[in-house]
Structures are given as structure tokens and as C-alpha cells.
Amino acid sequence: MRDPKNLMIALLCVSATILATVLGVNLSTGAAQAGGYVAKGGDYIMYTAAVADGTDLLYIIDVAEQKLNIYYFNPADNGLTVRDSMNLKQLFASKPTP
């Protein structure tokens, strides 16, 4: 069930669905959208957002592994590139008070 090939195929299918939905909504409304879109499937939560310079980001949280990856579209290679990656366990670890 946790075959890396199956996991990658599922991730790509979910990503394609989200991107197609976002494209369809933006084309049908003709207006700029504030905020992002959220999708959840299995152990993954995905969220899209834009930063100040107009770049769209794709945030993917792996709930099982408690990791966050942030991707952006790189026109040079016509694909998604990892912008940042972080371990949520470490990020939200409780810190002792002095």
C-alpha cells in the first residue's frame, strides 16, 4: 500500500485535480481571488497561496510524516521546484520555559 510509485501517482493526480479546479474557477469568475484553495486526501493536505510578487505557492503537508514542503512553479524547467521543506515535529516542539 505504501509503494513509492503508487504514492507518487496519487500525489500527482491530486495535484493535477487541484490545479485544474483552480484554473477552472479563475477562468469562470474572471476575477482575482484572495486567499488560497485547500484540498485534503489521505495523509496529505494541500494549500495554494500567492506571495507579494505574484508567485503562486503550493504547500503540501504530509500528516503521517508531519512534514511540510513548499513548491513554486519554475518556468525555466516547466515544473514545480521545492522552495522550502520543514519538519513540523521540530517546528512545533514544546520549548521549556526558563
Q: What is the pLDDT of residues 34-67, one digit of tens each?
A: 467 788 888 888 888 887 777 788 888 898 898 9
- The pTM assigned to this predicted structure is 0.56
> Does residue 47 fall inside a structural domain?
yes
> Would 85 be classed as within a structural domain?
yes
Domain that holds residue 58: 4-91
Q: What is the pLDDT of residue 27?
A: 44
Classify residue 60: in a domain, yes or no.
yes
Nearest to 42 by CA among 66, 18, 17, 63: 63
Tell me whether residue 96 is in a domain: no
Per-residue pLDDT tens over the stretch 10-20: 777 677 777 66
Into how many domains does the chain fold? 1
Report if residue 54 sits inside a domain. yes
The CA-based angle 44-46-52, given to 5 degrees, is 155
pLDDT at site 35: 60
